[in-house]
Amino acid sequence: LLWKESWELEKNPMASKGSPLHGPRTKLIEKAQNLFAETKEHTFESKAAEEHAKLLRLQHELEVTTKQAIFVDSSISDTIRTCIVLGNHRAALKVKTEFKVSEKRWYWLKVFALATIKDWAALEKF
Amino acid sequence: MAQIPNLDNAPVNLTSIREHSQKELINILKNVRGKKCLVIDPKLGDSLSLIIQSSILKEQGVELRHLSADPIQSDCTKIVFLVRSQPDLMRFICSNVHDDVSKGLQREYHVYFVPRRTVVCEKVLEDEKLHHLFTIGEYPLYLLPMDEDVLSFELDLSFKECLVDGDASSLWHIAKAIHKLEFSFGVIPNVRAKGKASVRIADILNRMQAEEPVNSSDMVMPEINTVILLDREVDMVTPLCSQLTYEGLLDEFLHINNGSVEIDGSILGLPQDGKKTKVPLNSSDKLFKEIRDLNFEVVVQILRQKATSMKQDYTDMTTTTQSVSELKDFVKKLNSLPEMTRHINLAQHLSTFTSKPTFLGQLDMEHTIIEAQSYDICFEYIEELIHKQEPLITVLRLLVLFSITNSGLPKKHFDYFRRELLHSYGFEHLATLNNLEKAGLFKKQESRSNWLTIKRTLELVVEDTDTANPNDIAYVFSGYAPLSIRLVQHAIRSGWRPVEEILKLLPGPHLETRRGGFSNSPSFDTLSGIPTSMAKVPDGRRALVLVVFVGGVTFAEISALRFLSAQESMAYDLVIASTKIVNGQTLLETFMEKLG
């Protein structure tokens, strides 16, 4: 039952996707995280919810600094790619360390992103 | 509409089933006098197109509309809704009616549920205070002949409903459909079932027979000798592999829907106006009947041969003088030209997909996973797919296949994959992963895998498969013999008993019984095999086995069964019934939770 309840919470924020009310959304997800955390079997789900909330906050910040509403609701990988495409390598690195992205994935993302913007020089270097 | 298949060659009289459904629908419409507007739920409309031509409906004074949230545009005062029993469809109906009421329109409303009314749906009408406005009826359409030898129950979601939601209503539906068949063709004496759902269906079927018996005394010999029920859960490996038969590939890349594909006109060499064309695919098309079940490699060769021989004939024709009879032959051949051009175009279009390195890589990986010898290679391959953010469904297909053959992944890897998936594709997929875990398709390893034993004992991997002259069903996957069909093979040949050890390794219980008027006569021994005297129906036709897949069947499996049925040593005709024709993609898509 507990699980179901938290599940609904997970779903709710999705239903209000795209709404500018990110504050309540992150709160809901955090609540879900706590509910997940109460049972032993759902440590993974709880972790995921925690990361999700963190991601949303980070994306929100990015949107404020870049003044482009393109970050929220994209995945971690997509966020990194967007950062690199925009030439914001520092932000990309920050996302990488925040979420402990493995080197392997990081390289793939970087290669793809650099190829998208045809930054062959940077690609060569790396 | 050429989409309605010709059923004259069917091993049982399927035409009568179709005509019966047709008549029932027309009766419903006749009961509503005068001009009426028939509003069909779009999903159902597709299915109905296999039963009845829209021209026949028009003769009944019917205007056709598809049900949606938008108000109905029609002058008719009588509206007939024909819908599946789903609460969300009821909401559409309600919003339609509310719209009429607000406009002050007075109309007569009828709702017909397919195949039967449910309390939930009527409750929705009651809650909206509209219940009194409706005349409610049922249109008992339980199964749909898709082709000469294929029936569908049209239950798209049954697999997911059973495994994730614990909703077993589809099982009742299947039992009811089989029971209806028994009214036409006599009580089926032998029942073999494997899997939880199948055994339950057999059980419900017996209860239905007890409550509402088919009178077997006036039937000399039941037309269907055996029914084999098989849960999709028993063999999840096969549908996740890429099908390599012509029809299978058409489905994988172009999605066959109710016996036809919708493609860009340009593929068929039609003028490029961006319009979609519907190509019917069923046994009425002779050439398609010949090549649908073959391995795609072979299909390309055959088409090439046919084209060259045609060309040869043509040059012969222009150079030498011909007798009238030869001319006649030639013209006859020319008549098959449109079919040929069509399939050559389709095959060409398919080969643009099959020659892609990603497709070949995927095939290679599927075989490696099935071989189950090199865990690390598979692990790294899938990891790389995720990192490259390949389409999620492609990744999930391999991942689920990987998980099943290993009966789950070690916890560390399981969590790693889940984390990487969420990171790469977004956290909204947590719900999907959860569904898959609940269904046991992608899960934590809890016991050692039996896959190697199963694979070896049932000879699932066949070396040196000759795709051109196949001697085993393994040709449909170029070397992998579908587990499900191997089981059917055993069930037909000898019953479950000789393979009991293997059955125990697969999910769900199994069951084997005899029913009807035959139940008291035979001793236990004859239970396992069908006595040879039973195998032949007096008029020289072969006896019939109905193979029911609970949770979906792939075209490749149908092909494999047709191949078995065509073998000389085979004493039976096979008819296939399934909740739905699926492939790895459509099957997994039912597990994807649509959020936001």
The pLDDT score that the predictor gives to residue A4 is 53
The pLDDT score that the predictor gives to residue B204 is 92
Alpha helices, DSSP H, located in B532-594:
532-535, 555-566, 584-589
Cβ–Cβ gap A99/B423 under 8 Å: yes
- The pLDDT mean for chain B works out to 83
The pLDDT score that the predictor gives to residue B505 is 87
| Span B557-571, average pLDDT | 86
**Strand arrangement, sheet containing B78-84:** B62-66, B36-40, B78-84, B108-114, B134-138
Q: Is the dihedral of CA B299, B462, B439, B594 positive or negative?
A: negative
Q: Is residue A13 packed enough to be buried (19+ CB in 10 Å), middle (13-18) or exposed (0-12)? A: buried
Dist CA B238 CA B551 (whole Å)? 13
Element (H, E) at A82: helix A76-85
Cβ–Cβ gap B424/A105 under 8 Å: yes
Q: With contacts defined as CB-CB under 8 Å, which chain A residues touch B595? A: 11, 14-15, 17
Residues B331-336: contacts with CB under 8 Å, at least 24 apart: B336/B286, B336/B287
Cβ–Cβ gap A77/B424 under 8 Å: yes
Dist CA B404 CA B232 (whole Å)? 13
Helix, strand, or coil here: B461?
strand
**pLDDT, tens only, B395-416:** 999 999 999 999 889 989 998 8
Confidence of residue B230 (pLDDT cuts 50, 70, 90): very high
Instruction: Provide the token pair at B323.
Output: 């007798």
**Which one-letter DSSP state was computed for residue B480?**
B
The pLDDT score that the predictor gives to residue A82 is 83
A16-20, A54-58, B89-93, B453-457: segment of lowest average pLDDT:
A16-20
Cβ–Cβ gap B430/A45 under 8 Å: yes
Residue % of chain B over a pLDDT of 70: 92
Cβ–Cβ gap B387/A108 under 8 Å: yes
Element (H, E) at B308: helix B296-319
Q: How far is B489 from chain A (nearest CA, A)?
A: 41
The pLDDT score that the predictor gives to residue B484 is 92
Dist CA B8 CA B19 (whole Å)? 13
Dist CA B41 CA B87 (whole Å)? 12
Q: Is the dihedral of CA B283, B285, B289, B293 positive or negative?
A: negative
Q: For residue B560, give the nearest of B467, B449, B425, B494 by alpha carbon.
A: B467
Alpha helices, DSSP H, located in B372-523:
375-387, 392-405, 411-425, 430-438, 451-457, 483-494, 500-505
| B51, B19 Cβ separation under 8 angstroms | no
The pLDDT score that the predictor gives to residue B556 is 92
Best interface-test mutation with B: which of A7, A36, A46, A104 has the largest number of B CBs within 10 A? A104
DSSP B216-235: -TT-SS-SEEEEEEEEGGG-
The pLDDT score that the predictor gives to residue A119 is 65
| Span B534-539, average pLDDT | 44
The pLDDT score that the predictor gives to residue B456 is 87
Per-position b or e across B187-220, b if 16+ CB within 10 A of its CB = bbbbbbbbbbbbbbbbbbbbebbeeeebebeeee
Helix, strand, or coil here: A29?
helix
Nearest CB to A48: which of B386, B430, B596? B430
Q: Is residue B435 packed enough to be buried (19+ CB in 10 Å), middle (13-18) or exposed (0-12)? A: buried
Q: For residue B557, give the nearest of B57, B150, B32 by alpha carbon.
A: B150
Centre a 10 Å sphere on the Cβ of residue B323 and count the other Cβ atoms it contains. 8
DSSP B127-154: HTT-GGGEEEEE-----EEEETTEEE--
CA angle B482, B485, B487 (to 5 degrees): 110
Task: Count interface pairs A-B at CB distance under 8 A.
Answer: 64
**pLDDT by 10s per residue, chain A, length 126:** 445 555 555 555 444 444 444 556 666 666 666 666 666 666 777 777 778 777 877 777 777 777 766 666 677 888 888 888 877 777 778 877 777 877 788 888 877 777 777 666 666 665
Q: For residue B362, give the nearest of B374, B351, B353 by alpha carbon.
A: B353
Confidence of residue B533 (pLDDT cuts 50, 70, 90): very low
Dist CA A121 CA A114 (whole Å)? 9
| B154, B47 Cβ separation under 8 angstroms | yes
Say which residues have a Cβ less than 8 Å from residue B526's Cβ, sequence separation at least 6: none
Give the residue from chain B lying closest to A96, CA to CA: B423
Phi/psi for B512 (5° steps) reads -145, 120
Pairing of strands B134-138, B224-231: unpaired
| B441, B236 Cβ separation under 8 angstroms | yes
Distances B83 to B42, B44, B68, B179 between C-alpha atoms, Å: 9, 7, 11, 23
The pLDDT score that the predictor gives to residue B527 is 37
Q: Is the dihedral of CA B24, B26, B27, B29 positive or negative?
A: positive
Phi-psi region of B258 (alpha: psi -120 to 50; beta: other; left: phi over 0): left
Nearest CB to A44: which of B418, B424, B596? B418
pTM assigned to the model? 0.85
Rg value, chain A, Cα: 17
Distances B166 to A11, B195, B439, B552 between C-alpha atoms, Å: 20, 15, 10, 17
| B544, B222 Cβ separation under 8 angstroms | no
Residues of A contacting chain B (CB within 8 angstroms): 7, 10-11, 14-15, 17-18, 44-45, 48-49, 51-52, 55, 73-78, 99, 101-102, 104-105, 108-109, 112
The pLDDT score that the predictor gives to residue B439 is 87
Nearest CB to A76: which of B423, B428, B434? B423
Q: With contacts defined as CB-CB under 8 Å, which chain B residues touch A17? A: 595-596
Confidence of residue B247 (pLDDT cuts 50, 70, 90): very high
Cβ–Cβ gap A14/B422 under 8 Å: no
The alpha carbon of B304 is separated from its chain's Cα centroid by a whole number of angstroms, namely 30
DSSP B415-427: HHHHHHHHHHH-G
Centre a 10 Å sphere on the Cβ of residue A102 and count the other Cβ atoms it contains. 15
Dist CA B245 CA B557 (whole Å)? 10
Helix, strand, or coil here: B441?
coil
Q: Is the dihedral of CA B355, B361, B366, B368 positive or negative?
A: positive
Q: Is residue B409 packed enough to be buried (19+ CB in 10 Å), middle (13-18) or exposed (0-12)? A: buried
Dist CA B454 CA B342 (whole Å)? 41
Say which residues have a Cβ less than 8 Å from residue B428's Cβ, sequence separation at least 6: A14, A73, B595, B596
Rg value, chain B, Cα: 26
Cis-peptide into A20, omega within 30 deg:
no
Dist CA B59 CA B53 (whole Å)? 10
B73-77, B175-179, B413-417: segment of lowest average pLDDT:
B73-77
Q: For residue B435, give the nearest of B553, B240, B239, B595 by alpha carbon.
A: B595
The pLDDT score that the predictor gives to residue A23 is 55
| Number of residues that make up chain B | 596
